[in-house]
């Protein structure tokens, strides 16, 4: 006897049900992670060691590529910005630098790099652990995989994102100053003084909040998708691709929302 | 073990602490540069419109930022109240009779308020007092009376206008040079050029004069001949009256009782008869063409048969050599197509 093919209504209903189920599951997962995060300090030193290693891999090891991108971005902005500002206003280049590096592209580019490096690594690692029944082994010996695996990664990625974003800003703005010396020399105190004058607390707050939110998004999307693996290693690449796609999409959406929330 | 792994805690600690330290330093520098801890001195002003006015916009004095706009509000008289904060460092610059003017940035970017300080050595105005703007009557009066220290404009438009002024001066100088060159009072290249043109025109004039000396006698002779011909035509005893004279030769020839006309008529009749005959001959030939064609075709067939008979006779061994050779005679008709090239 052949199985009956579901009709359109049944398929739409099933898809909607899956969507709701996944959303509620994700919220439950986030809630569980947040609860375990507050209990992180009381956990054993092993989790702290995982956190340290996560910051090392996500933050310290990504510092070079982040700096490189920041330097190139700062160079481009000061080069073209100077041509524009000769027509508009001498101080306008500082506004461009702060808007592009501090408020918008700094946090977003950093998040893309972290998602591409650490997000992928986390999703792969956790899905492999699920497939090889390591998660079941943790549960069998009474270790909560959320507190031992997810929370250090969540904290590590989020802290690394904030730190990397600060280094991105520092590198980009310093590189702009250095490049400017080649075609339009500016005294250091004048350049950084003007930057500090134009930099508003709102811009700094927006940047820090974005990096915190992006860290949260990257770690949650990566770990949640990692746990979706079932039993086959062939699922791992699919899960990783899905995690990266969801991660990038969510990062852009969150970036737009935060930009709209923080006034200029 | 790699350094980073071995000293992971120290590396990560430095990584995080350095980032936090950077953030703290940036916040402190921002506070110092933006005078977060400087309460400053408050003043207020009034404008006709809030266009171009925003809270937080800077107040400049000769390019230096001396304060900020704190708030912009619409009052009960539909005028715009603006509250300012002047930094403590620049408080002594707020002299009586000072006026505020709105500085429009290029493309709407980088605007602000300009403080035009009063021209006096009086002590600064009291805090929270009224600073007139250029929109108010008081501000306009202070400017008109020359009580305000107004710097020369140094914006982009002023620079463009200065360039235009320089260009116009250059054009004026050029026109003066052209004028003096035309007058011949100057000694520049244009004067030399004009003098050269003048000399060329003189040479041309002399050439034309010399040529005219040669042409004029010829023209005079032609004109004299025409006059003579005209006089002859108008002469009552000249050619025309002779031709029209009833006793003249022409009249005598024509006055012969139509004899000449009749002879000409008979000649034309004969020509006409000849043409009729030619037409009849042509029609006969046209009608006889098929028969002529048949005769020619029969003749051709007969000649072909005769040729065959002659060939047979020539090949007959009994008669071979019996026919004497004839010396070929060239045709007298000679066509140009037969020529060898």
d(CA B176, CA A254): 70
* A197 contact B CB<8A: yes
Q: Give the helix/strand (H/E) hosting B318.
A: none
- The residue of chain B nearest to residue A158, with distances taken between CA atoms, is B16
Same domain, B11 and B102: no
d(CA B306, CA B296): 15
**Chain B residues with CB-CB distance to A54 below 8 A:** none
d(CA B163, CA B299): 108
Q: What is the mean pLDDT of chain A?
A: 89
Is the pLDDT at A187 greater than 70? The verdict is yes
- Residue after which a domain boundary falls, among B151, B178, B213: B151
Return the CA Rg of chain A: 22
The answer as to whether B195 is a domain residue is no
Q: pLDDT tens digits, residue range B275-294?
A: 999 999 888 888 888 888 88
The ipTM assigned to this model is 0.86
Same domain, B132 and B72: yes
Average pLDDT (B96-123) is: 81
**Chain B residues with CB-CB distance to A87 below 8 A:** 106-107, 156
Query: Terminus-to-terminus CA distance in chain B, angstroms?
Result: 108
Residue-range domain boundaries for chain A: 44-261
- The residue of chain A nearest to residue B156, with distances taken between CA atoms, is A87
Q: pLDDT tens digits, residue range B148-201?
A: 888 765 556 667 777 787 788 778 888 887 787 777 777 777 777 788 888 888
Q: Give the helix/strand (H/E) hosting A254.
A: helix A235-261
Same domain, B74 and B20: no
Is the pLDDT at B207 greater than 60? The verdict is yes
| Pair A59, B12: CB distance under 8 Å | yes
Residue A130 is predicted with a pLDDT of 94
* Closest approach of B185 to chain A, Cα-based (Å): 46
d(CA B225, CA B281): 59
DSSP code at position B113: E
Residue A190 exposed, middle or buried by CB count within 10 Å (0-12, 13-18, 19+):
exposed
* Closest approach of B17 to chain A, Cα-based (Å): 9
Is the pLDDT at A222 greater than 60? The verdict is yes
Q: Report the SS3 class of residue B159.
A: helix
Q: pLDDT tens digits, residue range A25-70?
A: 999 999 999 998 888 877 667 778 889 999 999 999 999 999 999 9
* A86 contact B CB<8A: no
Same domain, B17 and B55: no
* Closest approach of A2 to chain B, Cα-based (Å): 58
Tell me which of B25, B33, B35 to substitute to probe the interface with A (most A C-beta atoms closer than 10 Å). Answer: B33
Compare CB distances from B29 to A88, A159, A196 and report the shortest one's residue.
Answer: A196
- Tell me the CB-side half-sphere exposure of residue B319, using CA atoms within 13 A: 10
Same domain, B59 and B133: yes
Residue B17 is predicted with a pLDDT of 94
Contact B22 A92 (CB under 8 A): no
Average pLDDT (A156-183) is: 92
Is the pLDDT at B111 greater than 70? The verdict is yes
- How many domains does chain B fold into? 3
**Out of A109-113, B37-41, B317-321, which region has the weakest mean confidence (pLDDT)?**
B317-321
* A162 contact B CB<8A: yes
Average pLDDT (B302-331) is: 74
Instruction: Kindly state the tokens that stand for B6.
Output: 């071995």
Same domain, B15 and B70: no
**Out of A78-87, A140-149, B227-236, which region has the weakest mean confidence (pLDDT)?**
A78-87
Report the relative pairing of strands B112-116 and B58-61 from DSSP bridges.
parallel
d(CA A80, CA A201): 26
The answer as to whether B278 is a domain residue is yes
Q: pLDDT tens digits, residue range A118-145?
A: 999 999 999 999 999 999 999 999 888 9
131-170 of B, contacting A, C-beta below 8 A: 156
Residues paired with residue B60 on neighbouring β-strands, in sequence order: B65, B114
Q: Give the helix/strand (H/E) hosting A161.
A: helix A151-183
Sign of the torsion angle spanned by Cα atoms B140, B144, B150, B154: positive
d(CA A66, CA A165): 9
Q: pLDDT tens digits, residue range A189-203?
A: 888 888 888 888 899
Percent of chain A's residues with pLDDT above 70: 95
* Closest approach of B65 to chain A, Cα-based (Å): 10
Domain range enclosing B139: 39-151
Same domain, B53 and B118: yes
**Chain A residues with CB-CB distance to B5 below 8 A:** 56
**Out of A33-47, A238-252, B296-310, which region has the weakest mean confidence (pLDDT)?**
A33-47
* B30 contact A CB<8A: yes
* Closest approach of B107 to chain A, Cα-based (Å): 7
Look at residues A239, A264, A257, A263 and name the one whose alpha carbon lies nearest to residue A108: A257
Q: pLDDT tens digits, residue range A98-124?
A: 999 999 999 999 999 999 999 999 999
Q: Report the SS3 class of residue B249.
A: helix
Contact A89 B106 (CB under 8 A): yes
Instruction: Kindly state the tokens that stand for A251.
Output: 């990062």
* A192 contact B CB<8A: yes
**Chain A residues with CB-CB distance to B23 below 8 A:** 166, 204, 208
Residue B24 is predicted with a pLDDT of 93
Contact B26 A196 (CB under 8 A): yes
Residue B2 is predicted with a pLDDT of 75
Dihedral over alpha carbons A98, B53, A202, A93 (to 10 degrees)? 0
* B89 contact A CB<8A: no
The answer as to whether B314 is a domain residue is no
Residue A3 is predicted with a pLDDT of 72
Strand runs labelled E in chain B? 41-47, 58-61, 64-74, 80-86, 99-103, 112-116
Contact B26 A87 (CB under 8 A): no
* CB neighbourhood size of A113 (10 A): 19
| Pair A102, A207: CB distance under 8 Å | yes
d(CA B27, CA B34): 10
* Closest approach of A34 to chain B, Cα-based (Å): 22
Compare CB distances from B8 to A56, A170, A192 and report the shortest one's residue.
Answer: A56
Instruction: Kindly state the tokens that stand for B135.
Output: 């929109």
Q: Give the helix/strand (H/E) hosting A32.
A: helix A8-38
Q: pLDDT tens digits, residue range B53-68?
A: 888 888 988 888 888 8
């Amino acid at each position: 006897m052949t199985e009956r093919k579901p009709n359109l209504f049944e398929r739409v209903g099933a898809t909607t049900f899956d969507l709701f189920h996944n959303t509620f599951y994700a919220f439950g997962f986030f809630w569980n992670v947040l609860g375990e995060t507050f209990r992180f300090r009381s956990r054993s030193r092993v989790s702290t060691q995982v956190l340290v290693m996560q910051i090392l891999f996500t933050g310290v090891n990504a510092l070079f590529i982040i700096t490189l991108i920041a330097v190139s971005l700062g160079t481009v902005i000061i080069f073209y910005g100077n041509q524009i500002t000769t027509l508009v206003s001498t101080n306008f280049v500082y506004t461009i630098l702060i808007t592009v590096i501090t408020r918008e592209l700094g946090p977003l580019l950093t998040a893309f790099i972290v998602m591409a490096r650490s997000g992928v690594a986390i999703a792969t690692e956790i899905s492999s652990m699920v497939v090889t029944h390591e998660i079941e082994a943790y549960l069998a010996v009474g270790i909560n995989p959320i507190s031992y695996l997810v929370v250090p990664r969540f904290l590590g990625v989020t802290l690394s994102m904030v730190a990397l974003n600060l280094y991105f800003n520092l590198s980009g703005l310093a590189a702009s100053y250095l490049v400017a010396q080649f075609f339009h020399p500016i005294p250091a105190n004048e350049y950084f003084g003007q930057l500090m004058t134009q930099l508003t607390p709102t811009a700094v707050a927006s940047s820090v909040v974005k990096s915190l939110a992006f860290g949260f998004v990257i770690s949650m999307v990566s770990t949640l998708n990692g746990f979706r693996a079932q039993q086959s290693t062939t699922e791992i690449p699919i899960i990783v691709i899905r995690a990266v796609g969801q991660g990038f999409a969510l990062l852009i959406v969150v970036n737009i929302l935060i930009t709209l929330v923080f006034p200029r | 073990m790699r350094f980073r792994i071995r000293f992971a805690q120290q590396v990560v600690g430095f990584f995080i602490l350095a980032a936090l330290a950077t953030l703290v330093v940036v916040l402190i520098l921002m506070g110092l540069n933006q005078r977060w801890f400087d309460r400053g001195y408050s003043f207020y002003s009034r404008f006709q419109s809030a266009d171009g006015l925003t809270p937080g916009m800077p107040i400049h004095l000769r390019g230096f930022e001396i304060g900020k706009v704190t708030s912009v509000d619409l009052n009960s008289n539909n005028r715009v109240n603006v509250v300012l904060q002047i930094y403590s460092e620049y408080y002594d610059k707020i002299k009586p009779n000072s006026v505020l003017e709105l500085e429009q940035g290029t493309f709407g970017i980088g605007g602000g308020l300009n403080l035009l300080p009063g021209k006096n050595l009086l002590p600064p105005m009291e805090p929270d007092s009224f600073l007139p703007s250029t929109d108010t009557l008081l501000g306009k009066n202070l400017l008109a009376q020359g009580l305000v220290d107004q710097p020369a404009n140094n914006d982009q438009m002023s620079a463009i206008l200065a360039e235009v002024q320089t260009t116009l001066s250059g054009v004026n100088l050029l026109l003066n040079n052209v004028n003096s060159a035309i007058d011949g009072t100057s000694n520049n290249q244009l004067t030399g050029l004009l003098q050269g043109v003048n000399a060329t025109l003189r040479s041309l004039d002399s050439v034309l004069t010399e040529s005219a000396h040669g042409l004029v006698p010829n023209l005079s002779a032609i004109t004299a001949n025409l006059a003579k011909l005209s006089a002859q035509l108008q002469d009552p005893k000249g050619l025309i009256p002779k031709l029209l004279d009833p006793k003249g030769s022409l009249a005598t020839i024509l006055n012969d009782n139509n004899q000449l006309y009749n002879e000409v008529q008979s000649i034309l009749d004969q020509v006409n008869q000849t043409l009729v005959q030619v037409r009849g001959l042509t029609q006969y030939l046209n009608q006889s063409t098929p028969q002529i064609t048949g005769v020619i075709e029969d003749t051709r067939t007969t000649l072909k048969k005769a040729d065959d008979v002659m060939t047979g006779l020539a090949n007959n061994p009994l008669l071979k050599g019996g026919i004497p050779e004839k010396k070929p005679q060239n045709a007298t008709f000679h066509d140009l197509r037969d020529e060898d090239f």
